[in-house]
């Protein structure tokens, strides 16, 4: 647990650290907690972002999936999740939207970083392959079980595969002029 002075309210805010965050080359680790920002973001920026986006989780505690709104692959992924999430466990927001930028900042990422799908829960964020596996845990069978087995693949292998698809997504799948959703 850490106490941080919030410049917005000039009050101490208690942050709970659930586990250490490892930062590689200024990228946020896949399972970073919102209370442990990466080195490129100041603690006060993250606290301000958490306060600015807390209203997103006040009346609706469901996680929010952030996706590239102009990517055809990403839009297809959102449609897939919506079709397989019969209970409506996940909300969606484009990375390019104002809310998406605020949630990115809350997750310790740059507001213009559209390189990865991000899943934002009330107290935690996931990126890349960890976000995909966490999303799979929220949707219907057999995906939670598949996610369980995919966790046995080392993170660097999963993220390597994820990055190769993500870096070539416009080339292979194209892009649309605006967010379809």
The 10s digit of each residue's pLDDT in 107-140 is 999 999 999 999 999 999 999 999 999 999 999 9
Mean pLDDT of 139-154: 95
pLDDT, position 175: 87
75: tokens are: 């839009």
Does residue 178 fall inside a structural domain? no
DSSP tag of 140: -
pLDDT reading at 3 higher than 50: no
Query: Per the structure, how many domains does the chain have?
Result: 1
Report the distance separating Cα 123 and Cα 116, nearest Å.
Answer: 19
Residue 141 belongs to a domain? yes
pLDDT value of residue 45: 63
Q: Which domain holds residue 113?
A: 29-173
More confident residue, 3 or 175: 175
Does residue 13 sit within a domain?
no
Q: For 64-84, write each residue's pLDDT tens digit.
A: 999 999 999 999 999 999 999
The band of 146, judged by pLDDT with boundaries at 50, 70 and 90, is very high
The token pair at 115 is: 């390189």
Q: For residue 126, is it within any domain?
A: yes
Residue 142 lies in a domain: yes
Q: How far is CA 106 from CA 13, 17, 56, 97, 167, in A?
A: 15, 15, 11, 14, 24
Tokens for 170, please give them: 């416009």
Position 63 in a domain: yes
Mean predicted lDDT score pLDDT of the chain: 79
Whether residue 51 is contained in a domain is answered as yes
pTM of the predicted model as reported, rounded to 2 decimal places: 0.72
Q: Is residue 3 part of a domain?
A: no
Q: Measured between alpha carbons, how far is 85 from 136 in angstroms, rounded to an integer?
A: 9
Instruction: Assess contact for 11 and 3: CB atoms under 8 A.
Output: no
Give the position of tokens 């966790």. 151
């Amino acid at each position: 647990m850490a106490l941080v002075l919030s410049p917005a309210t000039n009050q101490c805010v208690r942050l709970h650290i659930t586990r250490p965050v490892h930062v590689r080359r200024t990228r946020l680790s896949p399972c970073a907690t919102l209370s442990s920002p990466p080195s490129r973001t100041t603690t006060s920026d993250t606290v301000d972002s958490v306060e600015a986006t807390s209203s997103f989780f006040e009346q609706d505690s469901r996680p929010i999936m952030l996706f590239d709104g102009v990517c055809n692959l990403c839009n297809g992924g959102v449609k897939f999740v919506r079709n397989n999430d019969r209970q409506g466990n996940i909300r969606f927001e484009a990375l390019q939207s104002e809310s998406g930028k605020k949630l990115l900042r809350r997750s310790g990422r740059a507001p213009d970083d559209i390189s990865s799908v991000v899943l934002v829960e009330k107290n935690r964020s996931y990126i890349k392959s960890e976000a995909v596996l966490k999303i799979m845990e929220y949707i219907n069978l057999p995906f939670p079980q598949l996610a369980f087995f995919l966790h046995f693949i080392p993170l660097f292998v999963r993220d390597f595969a994820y990055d190769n698809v993500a870096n070539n997504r416009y080339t292979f799948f194209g892009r649309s002029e605006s967010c379809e959703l």
